[in-house]
Structure formats: structure tokens, C-alpha cells
Structure 1
Amino acid sequence: MSSVARRRRVFAGAILLTLAPLTAQSASDANQAVEEFHHICLAEGPSFLRMSQDAYGRNWELLAEVAFEELAPIADPDSVRVWLTTKVDGGLPPGTIIGFTTASIDGKPVHTCTLALPDIDPDAFQKAFFTRTDAEKISEERSPAQSNRLYILFVSGRQQFVRLVLPVAKSPGKPLVVASSIMAPGSAEQNGSKR
């Protein structure tokens, strides 16, 4: 099978997983999802090398960049790498999209790490996020379908920004909780790392 055909098959699989019926999830699922977000995106900051190692070790499927266009926390990223979980993986439900990007904000480079989590209760996720971190909200935009909030927080002595996109109302299909960390590159390496 060619790499193009494989990417199309994986992307089609991602779409089908996203359209599957919504099932109820418990608060413990939200807690586990927050722990995964903390481990993958926050504890050591966004890291392409570490995320690639996780993808290999945890059997995440590589997706085409187009699968991440609507989820990227910063528009028009310079580079993108995207993966998909096809089964339950620790605290990640099947159909989770994991993305790493490099981008620029006001001419300054940043790295981002995103988890788009299906089947996670948005209120429970937000509550667990606040219990786990010292995040302070600095902005919010609302639409009929979702709220988009930006937070600042410190993890292991490093300043990071977190963007949470939460569905506002129950909608057909499988609404996603989208959590992204945004950080200047090099910060993780300069300050060491802790989980």
C-alpha cells in the first residue's frame, strides 16, 4: 500500500471515529485525560522528539497535516506533525488527535502541543484541569457552539500558555475537547524537566 493510500485510509478512519455516536464518560475519564495532557504537553513543554518517541512507543497512527488544520492553536503553523489513537491508550480515548506544531507569534517562534479528545465531558475536563494546575484565565471568546479560553500557567518553573476549546452545548456527533500548550522553544531544555 502506498504512503498516500495509507494516509487517506488513516484520515478516513479518523473521520469515522469522530462521527461515531457520543457515549457518556465519567469524571475519572476527564481526570485521566487531564493527566495525559499534563504529561504529553505541559510537564516538559511541547517537544517534537519526545512526542515522536511517544507516538512510536504507543502505536499512534500518523495522520496527514490536513487532519489538524481546524485544531491548530495558532493559524498557519510553519510545521505540523499529527497522530491518532485508534484504541484506548492510557487516559486517551480512541479517536484522540495529537498534534505538534512550530509557529510564530509576533515574529517570535513557539512550539505547540495539542490533544483533541472525543467523548470527554467538557465541564469535568475543565474542573480537573483547574485542580491539576495553577492556570489563570487571560482571555475568552464564545460562540454558540464553543468557548475558546486562553490561560497562563507555570509548570516545572516554566511559563506556558494553554488554549482550551470546549463545546458549549451537546451537539450531534462527537464534540471534541481541544487542549493546547504554547511555549517558546528551548524553555524546556533550559529549565530541566519534571513530570
Structure 2
Amino acid sequence: MSPRFLLTLFAALYPASSVHAGVDVERALEAFHSTCLAHGPDFDRTAAAAGRLRWTPVSYDAFSNLSPIANVNEAKTWTTAADDTMPKGAIVGVTKARLDGKAVQTCTVAMTDVDHETFLKSFFTRTDAEKIDEKRDGLQISRLYILIAGGREQFVNLKFPASPSADGLMVASSIADD
């Protein structure tokens, strides 16, 4: 599924959210940090939290294009409720997969209405991330970083619109050895 389809899905699921209202960037970064970075991606911990917080399960098929790894062995995906920790309309996905023969886990938070330029600045202020790769197409930028968080080496993939003024998804993923 295309990112455009997912943006349309977000709009359909959350019609009350205004595209121009924006999401508090610090809240968005904290959602990614607390869910995916602080302890590293943790499939079981995130699934338990989703049940406790009453996140709504959704089909992984609708989320698979946002996953940082294509060949997934197990996956769970949810839409979150707007609360003190998550922006309204966020989608969280966790996977277990194999990457270059190693077992890995991933954790992804996808959010709309996030000022991606401010998110990136806050991300660098909060972490010791070092950029190791970047891919661009006409609509989207995907950057891969390495960092230490939660006592673990993690890779972070950030995907965001290519234009600083463009609306679109901010997709933040963490990848770490299982």
C-alpha cells in the first residue's frame, strides 16, 4: 500500500483532526522514544502495553509499507487512543524478523500532522544518533541512523515528506537485535 493510501486511511479514521492543527512535536518524539527507543524494540512489552492502553488492533497489511524490514516473521499493529503519551491517530507496529541472518525486532510509530523539521531537531537534541544512510525520491526522504539507547545499539529509520512544508506521515522506526 502506498503512503498516500495510509494518509487517506488516517484521515478516514480520525476525521476530527485538522491537518493544519499539528501535533506537539515533543509529545510525538516522546511517544516514539518511550514506545520504541527507551528499552529498544520489544514485541512482547509493546503488545502488553497495547492491551493495557486499549489500543485498537489493525491489519498488518495496512501497515506493511511502513515497516523498516520487508521479510517479517511476526507482526502486530494498532491505532492508538489520544492520551497523555500518544498523539491522536498514531499507529504503532512491532515485528520480529530476520535481517542478514540475525533475529531482530522492530518498533514503529507513524504519525500525521508532525512538523518533521522540528521533530528531527528534537531527535538530535535528545539522542546521539549518527546518520549512516539516506534515500530520497520525489515525495519522501528515508534516513537511517545508528545510536545507543536503552543500553542497546539500535538503528533508527526516519521517513518523512521531502518538502519541509508538505503534509504527510512522520514514520519513526527502531531496529535492534532480538
How does the TM-score come out when normalised to structure 1? 0.80
Which residue of 2 is the match for residue 118 of structure 1?
Answer: 112
C-alpha separation in 2, matches of 1:154 and 1:59: 30
Matches within 5 A, 1:42-57: 42-57=37-52
Which residue of 2 is the match for residue 98 of structure 1?
Answer: 92
> Between Structure 1 and Structure 2, whose CA radius of gyration is higher?
1
1:129 aligned onto 2:123: yes
C-alpha separation in 2, matches of 1:164 and 1:13: 20
After TM superposition, give the deviation of residue 102 of structure 1 in Å: 0.9
Task: Decide whether the 8 Å contact of 1:58 with 1:89 is kept in 2.
Answer: no
After TM superposition, give the deviation of residue 76 of structure 1 in Å: 2.3
Task: Decide whether the 8 Å contact of 1:92 with 1:117 is kept in 2.
Answer: no
Which residue of 2 is the match for residue 59 of structure 1?
Answer: 54
Same amino acid, percent of matched pairs: 44
How does the TM-score come out when normalised to structure 2? 0.87
Which residue of 1 is the match for residue 75 of structure 2?
Answer: 80
After TM superposition, give the deviation of residue 109 of structure 1 in Å: 0.9
After TM superposition, give the deviation of residue 16 of structure 1 in Å: 0.9
Task: Decide whether the 8 Å contact of 2:43 with 2:96 is kept in 1.
Answer: no
C-alpha separation in 2, matches of 1:154 and 1:57: 28
Secondary structure of the residue that 2:41 maps to in structure 1? coil
The amino acid across from 2:113 in the alignment is D
Moved over 6 A (4+): none
Which residue of 2 is the match for residue 17 of structure 1?
Answer: 13
Which residue of 2 is the match for residue 176 of structure 1?
Answer: 169
Instruction: Provide Cα deviations, 1:78-118, integer angstroms capped at 9, x if missing partner.
Output: 11100002x42224222211000011111111100000011
Give me the CA root mean square deviation.
2.0
C-alpha separation in 2, matches of 1:23 and 1:67: 24
The amino acid across from 1:72 in the alignment is S
Instruction: Provide Cα deviations, 1:155-179, integer angstroms capped at 9, x if missing partner.
Output: 13210000000112245xx611000
Instruction: Provide Cα deviations, 1:30-84, integer angstroms capped at 9, x if missing partner.
Output: 1111111111101111112211121122221001111211111011211110000
Which residue of 2 is the match for residue 8 of structure 1?
Answer: none
Q: Gapped runs of 5+ residues in structure 2?
A: 1-7
Instruction: Provide Cα deviations, 1:7-33, integer angstroms capped at 9, x if missing partner.
Output: xxxxx975613786512326xx11111
Q: Paired residues, what number?
A: 169
